[in-house]
Amino acid sequence: MCGIVGILNRDIHEPVDQALLNRMTDMMAYRGPSERGTYISGNLGLGHRRLSIIDLASGQQPMIDKERGRVVSYNGEIYNYRSIRETILADKGVQFHTSSDTEVLLRMADLDRFEWLESLNGMFAFAIWEGKAKRLLLARDRLGVKPLYYVDLGASFIFASEIKPLLIFPGVQRRVNDKKVLEYLAFRNIAGEETLFDGIRQLPPGHVIICEPSSYHLRVERYWREGLGHQMDEHSGRAKATDEQFMDIFSDAVKSRLVSDVPVGTFNSGGVDSSLVTAVVRSFKSDELHTFSVGFEEGSHDESRYASIVARQCETKHHTLLVKQDEYSRELGKTLWHLEEPINHPHTVQIRLLSQLAKEFVTVVLTGEGADEVFGGYPRYKIIKASSVMQWTPSAIVGQMANLLGRAGARRLSKIAASFGIDETDQVIFNAICIPAQDIPRIIVERLDVQSRKKIYEQSLLRLPGQIDRLLHFEQRTYLSSLLTRLDKMSMAASIEARVPFLDFRLVEWSYGIPSRDKIRRFRNKWIVKKAAERWLPHEIIYRKKFGFDVPIGQWLKDGKGLGAQLDVLRDVTFRQRGYFDHKIVETLVREHTKNELDHTEVLWGLLGFEMWCRLFIDRRIEEVGHA
């Protein structure tokens, strides 16, 4: 697990500046504290920070293939690299000099065709330079577990695992992507290739960029076909029951993610997903297993009791991190530095703190990320079910229901009622908005640009027949992306690697082929996961109520001597002069929330995160900030 950096000057006579490449590479030294490596060949430079996981002695990067004149800088893990090495490459007579997955990737690569990428089972973002042909290939894993950002400045094309290295390159401007501010506030993420930084883009998951030498024009192409042309029995035997098929694939996904030359543990919140991961890990691992969870003093948000139940059953060395309000507030700035975007998901802070704790015992953790978006775990997925039940209700009655439910504080039910009767695409997009329906017209007075989201959902319409399946497909390409970015950056901030078995591509492709009733059945979310888990976990773990906004942010924001003191930035002149939001309305929202008149947690958290981000990344030069 590592961090990569690259510079390609389009003028072949313009050499890469070694000192600049070093600075960009070292800007994210925490991603790879084991080693730093660089490679320069005229107008091309690659940087690499290495966190040693596999082949500790000889997996240094950038790695060079002298026979073909190629070099790779790679971030990630290829879980099936040994199989590829022993079959595909052995049949070709390839001789190896290391036992690393990096060399397998380098020797496997083809810059003319990209089907070979679908043979890789792993998480990755990499760059391969072909010296003789002067070609550059960038690729990102299917679901986007590993990030990859880039900027095209005309004279130079630069890329990196994080945004900060790009910000120190001459000519890169620190500007807000104005047209995406409202989208970020509404959805907590930006769909598509753009970011909140104007001009900085990210390579979409399952895609490649190929740069040809004629003009080094960037050509972006999709390589992942999402299982099209595959049969379900390629992933699991069709003769078995669906829950048994699920466990066949999932167990193998977990087993493959235990490949490591360093200690491995799990993040176990006590929820069904991370608990199932932990139980399956234990079935393969007989030696000491460390597990990690977060606790709160506020009982309404504390899941540590459930994590302890699983730890006892699986006989793990369990560690609980108690997160208090004052510590949480102090850690916002450093968390923001590593996330590089507003702290959209409040639990981002505790994931970084938990990663720091885990680093004392392990270098790799397995997590339950992705299960909700693949198998329908969020309560909002029931909206589709409820919509079909009430589609014949008169619109006037539906409108009255929405208003009454909203005033009563039943936000989820209010959103369901308000979405009845509208176009399917609009309904999906509307229900993905995080801000309560009654707050939307107060804070988002301009038309919300959702064209990128509509484009993504239209692809889902073409791809899948069922509405539940289309919704999940859409969320995997929008909401899930922000969760994965958060997981990667918070774990790498502590120099540990997070692996996500629920996002094994075989399991995801298999999920497209099972009926939607195996995901949500009789309004029970994630049915197939829970059914399979019955053989592994106690009933109270599997079927307990899912926690919602899993940090007591709303309560803490009311504490003027605690986290609520941070709201002062929404009242000062800097915020007003920025001009994105009506400061009088914002002041009203702050007053109503802090005086316990109305709950504006989501919108205030979004506004606070955006303003803090502007002050750290837009108002100041990156070199001036001392959080690295």
Indicate the domain borders of the chain: 2-222, 232-374+480-542, 379-476, 557-624
Domain 232-374+480-542: homologous superfamily in CATH: HUPs (3.40.50.620)
CA atoms of 597 and 578, how far apart (whole Å): 28
CA atoms of 41 and 72, how far apart (whole Å): 13
Instruction: Please name the residue ranges forming H helices in 257-381.
Output: 272-284, 304-314, 325-330, 332-339, 348-359, 371-375
Answer for the pair 571, 524: CB distance below 8 angstroms, yes or no: no
Residue 62 has pLDDT above 50, yes or no: yes
Answer for the pair 339, 490: CB distance below 8 angstroms, yes or no: yes
Residue 52 has pLDDT above 80, yes or no: no
CA atoms of 76 and 128, how far apart (whole Å): 14
What pLDDT score does 50 carry?
83
Q: Report which of 428, 422, 470, 418 is spatially closest to residue 453, judged by C-alpha positions.
A: 428
User: CATH number of 2-222: 1.10.3720.10, 3.40.50.300, 3.60.20.10, 3.30.930.10?
Assistant: 3.60.20.10
Under DSSP, is residue 570 helix (H, G, I), strand (E, B) or coil?
Answer: helix
Kind plus residue range of the DSSP H or E element containing 10: none
CA atoms of 311 and 248, how far apart (whole Å): 23
CA atoms of 548 and 563, how far apart (whole Å): 19
Which residues have a Cβ under 8 Å from the Cβ of 197 and sit 6 or more positions away? 163, 167, 174, 175, 176, 177, 617
Residue 35 has pLDDT above 70, yes or no: yes
Average pLDDT over residues 488-508: 97
The whole-model pTM stands at: 0.93
The two structure tokens encoding residue 181: 């501010």
Which of 191-195, 240-244, 426-430 has the least mean pLDDT? 426-430
What pLDDT score does 421 carry?
59
**Between 215 and 20, residue with greater pLDDT:** 20
CA gyration radius, the chain: 24
Residue 541 has pLDDT above 90, yes or no: yes
Residue 531 has pLDDT above 60, yes or no: yes
Which residues have a Cβ under 8 Å from the Cβ of 199 and sit 6 or more positions away? 151, 172, 173, 175, 177
CA atoms of 369 and 599, how far apart (whole Å): 28
- Whether the ω angle into residue 205 lies within 30 degrees of 0, i.e. cis, is no
Residue 523 has pLDDT above 70, yes or no: yes
Answer for the pair 575, 583: CB distance below 8 angstroms, yes or no: yes
Which of 50-54, 337-341, 384-388, 452-456 has the least mean pLDDT? 384-388
What pLDDT score does 152 carry?
96
CA atoms of 250 and 375, how far apart (whole Å): 13
Answer for the pair 483, 369: CB distance below 8 angstroms, yes or no: yes
Residue 419 has pLDDT above 70, yes or no: no
Q: How confident is the model at residue 604 (pLDDT cuts 50, 70, 90)?
A: very high
Backbone angles phi, psi at 113, to 5 degrees: -130, 155
CA atoms of 614 and 570, how far apart (whole Å): 12
What pLDDT score does 609 carry?
97
Q: Report which of 137, 142, 108, 140 is spatially closest to residue 124, judged by C-alpha positions.
A: 140
* Burial of residue 95 (number of CB atoms within 10 Å: 0-12, 13-18, 19+): exposed
Residue 509 has pLDDT above 90, yes or no: yes
What pLDDT score does 511 carry?
95
**Between 234 and 455, residue with greater pLDDT:** 455
Average pLDDT over residues 197-213: 95
135-170 pLDDT per residue, tens: 999 999 999 999 999 999 999 999 999 999 999 999
CA atoms of 206 and 212, how far apart (whole Å): 20
Under DSSP, is residue 311 helix (H, G, I), strand (E, B) or coil?
Answer: helix
What pLDDT score does 628 carry?
46
Q: What is the rounded end-to-end Cα distance, in angstroms, of the chain?
A: 18
Residue type, 24: M
115-140 pLDDT per residue, tens: 999 999 999 999 999 999 999 999 99
Q: How confident is the model at residue 462 (pLDDT cuts 50, 70, 90)?
A: confident
**Between 20 and 94, residue with greater pLDDT:** 20
Backbone angles phi, psi at 524, to 5 degrees: -100, 115
Residue 434: active-site member: no
What pLDDT score does 427 carry?
85
Give the β-pairing of 317-322 and 290-295.
parallel
Residue 232 has pLDDT above 70, yes or no: no
What pLDDT score does 97 carry?
83
What pLDDT score does 270 carry?
93
Answer for the pair 274, 340: CB distance below 8 angstroms, yes or no: no
Average pLDDT over residues 11-26: 95
- Whether the ω angle into residue 62 lies within 30 degrees of 0, i.e. cis, is yes
Summary count for the chain: helices (H), strands (E): 28, 17
What pLDDT score does 67 carry?
86
CA atoms of 344 and 204, how far apart (whole Å): 20
Residue 406 has pLDDT above 90, yes or no: no
CA atoms of 592 and 598, how far apart (whole Å): 5
Residue 504 has pLDDT above 70, yes or no: yes
Q: Report which of 349, 371, 355, 379 is spatially closest to residue 480, judged by C-alpha positions.
A: 371
Answer for the pair 268, 274: CB distance below 8 angstroms, yes or no: yes
Answer for the pair 50, 492: CB distance below 8 angstroms, yes or no: no
Answer for the pair 147, 488: CB distance below 8 angstroms, yes or no: yes
Answer for the pair 319, 288: CB distance below 8 angstroms, yes or no: no
What pLDDT score does 414 carry?
57
What pLDDT score does 396 carry?
56
Q: How confident is the model at residue 408 (pLDDT cuts 50, 70, 90)?
A: very low
Highest mean predicted confidence (pLDDT) among 231-235, 240-244, 419-423, 463-467: 240-244
